[in-house]
Amino acid sequence: MLALTNAILSCRTRSNAIPYIQQFRSVLLPSPTNPGQTPHQCDVCGKKYTRKEHLANHMRSHTNETPFRCEICGKSFSRKEHFTNHILWHTAGETPHRCDFCSKTFTRKEHLLNHVRQHTGESPHRCSYCMKTFTRKEHLVNHIRQHTGESPHKCTYCTKTFTRKEHLTNHVRQHTGDSPHRCSYCKKTFTRKEHLTNHVRLHTGDSPHKCEYCQKTFTRKEHLNNHMRQHSSDNPHCCNVCNKPFTRKEHLINHMSRCHTGDRPFTCETCGKSFPLKGNLLFHQRSHTKGQEMERPFACEKCPKNFICKGHLVSHMRSHSGEKPHACTLCSKAFVERGNLKRHMKMNHPDAMMPPPPVHPHPQIPAGVLTQVKQEVKPIIIPHHSATTTMHTIQQITAGAAGGAGAVQLTPGLVPLVTSTLISHNAAAQQQSQKQQAAAAAAQQQAAAAAAAQQQAAQQQAAAAHQQHQQQVAAQHQQQAAVAAHQQQQQQLQQQQQLLQLSIQQAAHHHQQEQHRQQQQQQHQQQQQQQHHQQQQQGHPQAPPPQQQQQPPPIALISDPGALARAAIQLQHLPANVEQHPVVY
């Protein structure tokens, strides 16, 4: 067992350690307590089961057989009980198992038990190799495969193998292009259900994972875990080239691909441009989809702008709210984006951006020793290690490396040299930490004074804003009064125009009547003159000529529209038997 342990420890990768694990598999895997009680054994992987139906269910994991198919949606299952539970979703959404803590319901009893353990914190399944505990048995089984190197699920399209069946199912969809999970809001499809769940939260705004320190919420649990490292100052992932620490493993991988390897494995099929990260490729591919509906899926609720990614939308929303969450700890300045804060720190506070002094190797110290000792002692995170602790750690590493092939060999004469190098590094780190603490204290005082000034300025701005608001309200009232007076004046003008038109129409009617009366009088006079002339010719006694009736004096035309309107009103109120005088035009 000691030889196996030294051999495994000497391997730097998991793939190199798998042959040793498989060679000593009988030693690593515990034998069943009652061998006679497991008569049914798998011919493929050697697993044993107490019941024949359990073996039959297990064999389907090798053959990928799914004999139980749903006639409603076409989904198939390898086990009958899974098929029965699935049918419950189609039959009016029946969920008979309810949680007593949060009233959440489940279709399967084992799902309820797994959920209840989240409330109670129970982890009954313990790994016999590393003593890690799990709430679900399948999680323990998948974890043990990391120790044994077992990967029973093999892809039929390529040579890749997987420890979990769901990982194989998700991988096969990359070959087939199947995306069965569709968003009901934007019709976007996903290969994995958890990706759909995280995507739907972008539409609903649901953020169920909350930080207990700053009350910040997240849509995904892994995002909350990464955020919690900011409060604990834990940077477990360190670059082997430049010793730069990272809180997330994917950030370290991105850093290695961008800065050190220069590898660009992701190529655009449209223009042939390559990128180091898959996210960069997806972001670039949207530049080839101009005019399409999903080019800018993230829309602002306060203005008509749309954005390609959610981060741009979040930064844009701060322009509406005025929020500046990224504040400098050394001065009173705050910024909307984190990149602007980094540029500010680099330009104005370069000393605070300097990393801890690196461990300078000595020419007599073999390569790799300081890195190995640094990982054990961690002088940056725990700077209070003594020389005795460091010496003891180096001796342990030397003893462990002696039995492993390919391990770093450290002679006893070099131990004091390595110890002194690390101690000097720790002292320099402590001095720099003290300087940073003093600078931070001074910066806090400046920030407090700046905050008081900002509060006073904010109060003045509030008073000015209140006065300006009152002035605006008064101006609005004046404007409304002026508009009302203008409308009343227009109504009066319209009434006068209507009266004037009525007066003109009446005057024209009177004029026509007067002309007609005059014509009748002229015709009557002409007839009388003709009769008188005929009587003279016939010898009748001469009668006096008819006298013209005296015409009433004409009325002068009224030129003033207002007087004409008043005259028209008077005409309307005259009695019917009053003789009206003609109007001269």
The distance in angstroms from the start CA to the end CA of the chain is 134
What type of residue is 398?
A: T
Burial class, 488, CB count within 10 angstroms (exposed 0-12 / middle 13-18 / buried 19+): exposed
Confidence of residue 328 (pLDDT cuts 50, 70, 90): confident
Nearest CA among 125, 123, 169, 130 for reference residue 148: 130
Inter-CA distances, 136 with 23, 112, 123, Å: 29, 11, 8
| Average pLDDT for the chain | 73
Which residue shows structure tokens 């949606």? Answer: 73
pLDDT surpassing 80 at residue 465: yes
547 token code pair: 């006298």
Q: What is the pLDDT of residues 157-210, one digit of tens each?
A: 898 888 888 888 888 888 888 888 888 887 788 888 888 888 888 777 788 888
pLDDT surpassing 50 at residue 154: yes
| Residue 510 CA to its chain's centroid (Å) | 82
pLDDT of residue 58: 84
pLDDT surpassing 60 at residue 217: yes
Confidence of residue 567 (pLDDT cuts 50, 70, 90): low
Percent of the chain with pLDDT over 70: 69
pLDDT surpassing 70 at residue 106: yes
pLDDT of residue 95: 67
Q: What is the pLDDT of residues 15-69, one digit of tens each?
A: 454 454 445 444 444 444 454 566 888 888 788 888 888 888 888 878 878 888 8
pLDDT of residue 562: 57
| Cβ(283)–Cβ(308) below 8 Å | yes
| Cβ(316)–Cβ(304) below 8 Å | no
Strand partners for 190: 181
pLDDT surpassing 50 at residue 108: yes
pLDDT surpassing 50 at residue 464: yes
pLDDT surpassing 80 at residue 546: no
pLDDT of residue 127: 92
Confidence of residue 566 (pLDDT cuts 50, 70, 90): low
pLDDT surpassing 80 at residue 518: yes
Give 47-62 as a DSSP string. -EESSHHHHHHHHHHH
Name the most confidently modeled range: 5-9, 306-310, 319-323: 319-323
Q: Which residue has the higher pLDDT, 212 or 367?
A: 212
pLDDT of residue 306: 83
d(CA 440, CA 352): 9
pLDDT of residue 350: 81
Q: What is the pLDDT of residues 385-434, one digit of tens each?
A: 444 444 444 444 444 444 444 444 444 554 455 455 556 656 666 777 77
d(CA 552, CA 52): 134
pLDDT of residue 570: 56
pLDDT of residue 363: 47
pLDDT surpassing 50 at residue 380: no
Cα-trace Rg, the chain? 49
pLDDT of residue 32: 42
Q: What is the pLDDT of residues 473-485, one digit of tens each?
A: 888 888 889 999 9
Confidence of residue 540 (pLDDT cuts 50, 70, 90): low
Q: Which residue has the higher pLDDT, 247 or 239?
A: 239
261: number of Cβ within 10 Å: 12
pLDDT of residue 425: 59
pLDDT surpassing 70 at residue 545: no
Nearest CA among 238, 257, 241, 234 for reference residue 249: 238
